[in-house]
Amino acid sequence: MKNIRKLKIDDLEILNRFISDEKDNFYNFQKLGWSKKNIYGHFKKKNNLSIGYFCDEKLYGFLIGEKLLNYINFHLEIHLMFVSKKKRRKNIGSSILKYIETNKKLININKMFLEVSENNLQAVNFYEKNNFVFFKFRHNYYKSKNEKVNAKCYFKNL
């Protein structure tokens, strides 16, 4: 049975096991600084908003984000979104985003932001398919194979 819910610090063992199982596919995020230690530090923040997608109590995808105060509402800055390679193209990522939209009043979010490498066409297409709007480049933001790559910045109003 499908279950999408907020991840808490108690879920770190499940998340760490998932990352270990997906280590070959999670490698690029680790190169960007998303080690298990960094994720633990993020989960300890008061403004952490992370979501997991479970099926039969097994984790298949997650989003790590941060709530940022904007006047009376919050924006969600999405830092990391990852779905098991074997489960991609099965609407898991879209379901996580839909969960946030459906629960926007409960979690007090009215806008989401993210950035993605312009070379990551699969992610660019995914976010555009999910109605994120491009608004700017961050030039030379990422380093890939000794070359600098632009980040594409997106937002979505909820």
Residue 87: the pLDDT is 93
Residue 113: the pLDDT is 97
Residue 79: the pLDDT is 96
Arithmetic mean of pLDDT, 56-74: 93
Q: Which one is predicted more confidently, 32 or 89? A: 89
Burial 98-123 (b: 16+ CB within 10 A, else e): ebbeebbeebebebbbbbbbbebeeb
Domains for the chain: give ranges and CATH numbers. Answer: 2-157 (3.40.630.30)
What's the chain's average pLDDT?
Answer: 93
Residue 112, pLDDT above cutoff 80: yes
Q: What is the pTM for the complete model shown?
A: 0.92
Arithmetic mean of pLDDT, 112-138: 96
Residue 147, pLDDT above cutoff 80: yes
Contact 51, 99 (CB under 8 A): yes
